[in-house]
Amino acid sequence: MRYERSKKLFSESQLYIPGGVNSPARAFGPVGGSPVIIRRANRSRVYDVDGNEYVDYVCSWGPLILGHSHPSVIAAIRKESEFGTSFGAPTLNELKMAALVCRCVPSVEMVRMVNSGTEATMSAIRLARGFTGRDLIIKFEGCWHGHGDAFLIKTGSSALSQGVPDSPGVPDEVARLSVTVPYNDLEAVKSVLRENPGKVAAIIVEPVAGNMGVVPPGDGFLDGLRSLATSSGTLLIFDEVITGFRVSLGGAQSLYDVMPDLTCMGKIIGGGLPVGAYGGRLDIMQNVSPLGMKVSQAGTLSGNPIAMVAGYTTLLRLCGEDVYADLEATAEKLTSGMMSIAKSNGYPVCIQRVGSMFTLFFHPGPVRNYDDAAKCDTERFARYFHSMLDQGIYLPPSQFESWFVSHAHTEKDVALTLKAHEKALKEAFA
């Protein structure tokens, strides 16, 4: 049987790990069935414990922009680990990394390393609150900023209502400090700012949303946020945990030429190891402990030397001239091929893409916000997903995630994917 060993191991995992997974996104909940257990990976391919091979479009949920087991990254990790695994003291690796991030990301003048995207967003919000002396934050429905209490809030019945907790364990008092508004809706942001003068510390946004499927910012949306933040004394935070070093070397802020006050990063900057970072304007960052206002934030393993070399080696490769043009070409070929198959058969789907991140929506489109995304036909997506898996194509197991193309994906991968896609669409719409 194709998934026999995976199924057996997953049942056993459920005895010891909640839901059998260390992050719920992996659990196949939205598509049904049992996850495949991955044993190893190389370039664009992952291999499960039953020996099945897949073309991988999850890429560890974004970090592996160079593909799996990139030889330079692996060599750097191997070499660095010979020198020790962690010192809890300053290192040369973290200096090189910080300098490179500041050079590549235009609005970042100073940066602090942490261990995950969640840590980055939680710390950025604390800094924004400390710096402005205000408590409220504005966030957008359908964006995901990790699992910090401040972010686990979705909109109430009215788009402008104060938040209610989305997860047990988030106190109402905390939830009330987050106001959720629809993505791509500047008017909604304006009203919240108008109703709460002098109270909003930060607006936090995924500059290209990747967590309701890929939803690009509409014309003028990011610029509009920038002006509203400036005129209200609110900080603008770009959560570039996905888009950082993905949509361009300088992230979404470079691509759209809009400068946030603070930027959260993760995924790619760790080269596949656990890293996050937040950075931005010098006058703000100079208040992170031990400096200035001493806004608290610390970490035993932050700036871990092995994680730093994995990230640094990845970023150096991305500084090469060819990478983003190649990624664009591969992603364009794949998505235009997928759409022409869908169109010629009259299937009501659409693809939204920015560079090498995209989503195939089971919705005719456009998808501009969470309400649009919620209209997708998730049952058809589940059938499509399983057909692709059975044909050796590994996709995120949810309609509301981004697919990622890596620099290791080849023409052959594209051809295999298109062939599988045609059959999977037919099965989804049967």
CA gap 208, 200 in Å, rounded: 22
27 vs 414, which CB is nearer to ligand KE4? Answer: 27
CA gap 297, 287 in Å, rounded: 11
61 vs 245, which CB is nearer to ligand KE4? Answer: 61
Minimum distance from residue 62 beta carbon to ligand KE4 (Å): 7
Cβ–Cβ under 8 Å, residues 111 and 125: no
Cβ–Cβ under 8 Å, residues 182 and 188: yes
Minimum distance from residue 195 beta carbon to ligand KE4 (Å): 27
φ/ψ (deg, to 5) at 281: -60, 140
What is the end-to-end Cα distance of the chain in Å, rounded? 25
Minimum distance from residue 212 beta carbon to ligand KE4 (Å): 10
Minimum distance from residue 63 beta carbon to ligand KE4 (Å): 9
114 vs 285, which CB is nearer to ligand KE4? Answer: 114
Q: Give the tokens for residue 371.
A: 């309400």
The CB-nearest residue to ligand KE4 is 117
Would residue 214 be called left, alpha or beta, if left means φ above 0 and alpha means ψ between -120 and 50 degrees?
A: beta
273 vs 414, which CB is nearer to ligand KE4? Answer: 273
CB atoms within 10 A of CB 162: 18
193 vs 277, which CB is nearer to ligand KE4? Answer: 277
H or E stretch at 45: strand 45-48
| 215, amino acid identity | V
CA gap 315, 103 in Å, rounded: 11
CA gap 354, 351 in Å, rounded: 10
Minimum distance from residue 124 beta carbon to ligand KE4 (Å): 11
What is the binding site for ligand KE4 (CB under 6 A)? Answer: 23, 25, 61, 116-118, 121, 144-146, 206, 210-211, 239, 241-242, 266, 276, 401
Minimum distance from residue 238 beta carbon to ligand KE4 (Å): 10
261 vs 401, which CB is nearer to ligand KE4? Answer: 401
